[in-house]
């Protein structure tokens, strides 16, 4: 077979695989919506545990779709480890922190924060143009560079969710004996999610938990969970994934930062870590 024909076959195969994964993302989104619709038939007050469990599972379905979208957009390459991540609850819950950043609970507050920084940059640029003092110009320029560097950073919980996804999940699956010279100090929230905090709450909402003696330790009816918050978060994830599916080429400054973060970490075999935005 001529080389050109082999290359054409590979390109066709790659395109078909990409189309199949995009369709899979759509199916995950549809299933997440189905779970949310089922919640609407349940009574929050009489069965909050089941509603919480369904909402958490819906979040995971939307996160699975988001992971497939990252692959389709070229931020990640599909392989057996990414496939494994689609079946790993903690991986999907870590991605949930990233999705919360892309679809914030308070959009207007996030927008106002950006507008404030944008206005400061414009004011500094104007000041730089009219300033004649070399020392003051240098101070203004240093401030502009500091703002530019800050704009490239993700919030620390988001950055560390991606760091943990890459290093503590995927990398350790690839190389079980891989270790840090000096273990990173990850963000507390990202660390708790990776340790199974959300997954334990979901399990407690579904199953009777037994103690070591075999006695009942907790039942779904006695578990403490914020059902309404879980449902609202799932709805935000639904909105985000639906938009990315409807407009495959769409994006935002935040989306670009997330995609670039995944590309940077997964293109390097070294223990590269993302720096988070100082709080």
- pLDDT of the chain along its 279 residues, tens only? 455 434 434 444 455 577 889 899 999 999 999 999 999 888 777 789 999 999 999 999 999 999 999 999 999 999 999 999 999 999 999 999 999 999 998 766 666 676 777 787 788 788 878 888 878 877 877 776 766 777 778 999 999 999 999 999 999 999 888 888 888 999 999 999 999 999 999 999 999 999 999 999 999 988 888 899 999 999 999 999 999 999 887 778 889 999 999 999 998 776 788 888 765
- Report whether 154 contacts 258 (CB < 8 A): yes
- Report whether 233 contacts 101 (CB < 8 A): no
pLDDT of 147 reads 66
Positive or negative, the Cα torsion across 259, 19, 97, 243?
A: positive
Q: Give the span between the Cα atoms of 235 and 201, in whole angstroms.
A: 19
Q: Give the span between the Cα atoms of 279 and 274, in whole angstroms.
A: 15
- Report whether 153 contacts 275 (CB < 8 A): yes
Q: What is the pTM of this model?
A: 0.84
Helices 48-72 and 197-206, packing angle to 10 deg: 140
Q: Quote the tokens at residue 171.
A: 């990398």
């Amino acid at each position: 077979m001529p080389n050109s024909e082999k290359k054409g076959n590979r390109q066709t195969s790659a395109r078909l695989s990409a189309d199949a994964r995009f369709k899979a993302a759509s199916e995950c989104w549809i299933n997440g919506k189905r779970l949310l619709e089922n919640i609407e038939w349940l009574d929050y007050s009489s069965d909050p545990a089941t509603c919480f469990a369904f909402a958490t599972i819906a979040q995971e379905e939307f996160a699975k779709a988001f992971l497939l979208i990252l692959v389709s957009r070229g931020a990640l390459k599909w392989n057996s480890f990414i496939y494994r991540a689609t079946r790993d609850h903690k991986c999907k819950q870590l991605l949930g922190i990233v999705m919360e950043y892309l679809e914030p609970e308070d959009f207007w507050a996030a927008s106002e924060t950006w507008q404030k920084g944008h206005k400061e940059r414009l004011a500094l640029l104007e000041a730089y143009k009219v300033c004649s003092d070399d020392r003051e110009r240098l101070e203004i320029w240093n401030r502009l560079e500091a703002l530019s560097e800050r704009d490239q950073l993700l919030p620390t919980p988001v950055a560390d969710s991606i760091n943990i996804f890459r290093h503590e999940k995927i990398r350790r699956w690839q190389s079980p004996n891989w270790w840090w010279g000096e273990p990173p100090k990850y963000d507390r929230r990202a660390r708790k999610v990776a340790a199974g905090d959300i997954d334990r709450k979901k399990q407690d909402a579904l199953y009777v938990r037994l103690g070591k003696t075999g006695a009942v330790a907790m039942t779904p009816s006695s578990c403490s969970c914020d059902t309404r918050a879980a449902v609202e978060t799932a709805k935000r994830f639904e909105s985000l994934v639906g938009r990315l599916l409807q407009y495959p080429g769409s994006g935002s400054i935040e989306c670009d930062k997330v995609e670039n973060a995944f590309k940077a970490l997964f293109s390097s075999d070294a223990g590269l870590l993302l720096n988070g935005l100082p709080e």
